[in-house]
Amino acid sequence: MLKAVVTPIHREGWPFIALFALASALLFLLAQPLGWLGVVLTLWCAYFFRDPARVTPTRAGLVISPADGAVQMIVPAAPPPELAMGTGPLPRISIFMNVFDVHVNRAPVDAAVVAVAYHPGKFLNASLDKASEDNERNALRLRVADGRELAVVQIAGLVARRIKCYVAANQQVRAGARFGMIRFGSRVDVYLPEGAATLVCVGQRAVAGETVLADLGPSGDGEAQRQGEVR
* Residues labelled catalytic: 186
What does each C-alpha distance from 13 to 49, 104, 198 come to in angstroms? Answer: 5, 11, 33
- Rounded Cα distance, 154 and 144, in Å: 19
- Rounded Cα distance, 146 and 109, in Å: 12
- Rounded Cα distance, 223 and 231, in Å: 23
- Rounded Cα distance, 176 and 59, in Å: 12
Would you state the torsion angle of the CA atoms of residues 72, 177, 212, 163, taken in this order, to the nearest 10 degrees?
A: 10
